[in-house]
Structure 1
Amino acid sequence: MTEPPPIVFKRAAAADPEAFIRCETAIASPPLVPEIRLHLATEITPIWQATEATLAHEGLPPPYWAFAWPGGQALARTILDDPAIVRGKRVLDFAAGSGLVAIAAAKAGAQSVTAAEIDDFAAAAIALNAALNGVHVPVTLEDQVGQAGPWDLVLAGDVCYERPMAERVTAWLRGLVARGAQVLMGDPGRSYLPKNGLELVTRHKVPTSLELEDRTERETAIWRLLAE
Structure 2
Amino acid sequence: MTRSELSRRLSAVIPNADLEVVALPEVPGIRLALLQQSYPQHLLDNDTVAKIMNTPMYWAFCWASGQVLARFILDNPHYVKGRRVLDFGAGSGVVAVAAAIAGARSVVVCDTDPLALLACTCNAELNGVVLEHASSLDSYSGEIDIILASDVLYDRANLSWLQVFLNRAPSVLVADSRVRDFSAENYQLLSANSSYTFPDLDESQEFRRVKVYLGCRT
TM-score, normalized by length of structure 2?
A: 0.79
Cα deviation, 1:141-181, whole Å, max 9, x if unaligned, reads: 2x2159664010110001111122332x123113235xxx2
1:113 aligns with: 107
- Pick closer, same or farther for the CA change 1:49–1:38 going to 2, 3 Å: farther
2:205 aligns with: 215
Pair 1:94 & 2:84 matched:
no
1:197 aligns with: 186
Determine which of 26, 33, 47 is the counterpart of 2:27: 33
Asked if 1 retains the 8 angstrom alpha-carbon contact of 2:188 and 2:215, the reply is yes
C-alpha RMSD of matched pairs (Å):
3.3
TM-score, normalized by length of structure 1?
A: 0.76
Asked if 2 retains the 8 angstrom alpha-carbon contact of 1:92 and 1:113, the reply is yes
- Pick closer, same or farther for the CA change 1:195–1:84 going to 2, 3 Å: closer
- Pick closer, same or farther for the CA change 1:154–1:144 going to 2, 3 Å: same
- Aligned-residue offset at 1:45: 3.2
2:14 aligns with: none
| Count of matched residue pairs | 206
Determine which of 123, 126, 138 is the counterpart of 2:117: 123
1:172 aligns with: 164
- Pick closer, same or farther for the CA change 1:194–1:108 going to 2, 3 Å: same
CA distance in 1, matches of 2:171, 2:78: 13
1:12 aligns with: none
Cα deviation, 1:78-99, whole Å, max 9, x if unaligned, reads: 1111212111000000100000
Consecutive unaligned residues in structure 1, runs of 5 or more: 1-14, 53-58
CA distance in 2, matches of 1:62, 1:134: 27
Consecutive unaligned residues in structure 2, runs of 5 or more: 12-16, 48-52
Cα deviation, 1:5-35, whole Å, max 9, x if unaligned, reads: xxxxxxxxxx944644596221112322111
1:157 aligns with: 150
- Structure 1 window deviating more from structure 2 (36-45 vs 193-202): it is 193-202
Determine which of 15, 21, 38 is the counterpart of 1:44: 38
Greater helix fraction, Structure 1 or Structure 2: 2
Q: Structure 1 vs Structure 2: percent identity of aligned residues? A: 34
CA distance in 1, matches of 2:202, 2:113: 20
- Pick closer, same or farther for the CA change 1:204–1:158 going to 2, 3 Å: same
CA distance in 2, matches of 1:139, 1:192: 32
Q: Which amino acid in 1 is paired with 2:84?
A: R
- Aligned-residue offset at 1:116: 0.3
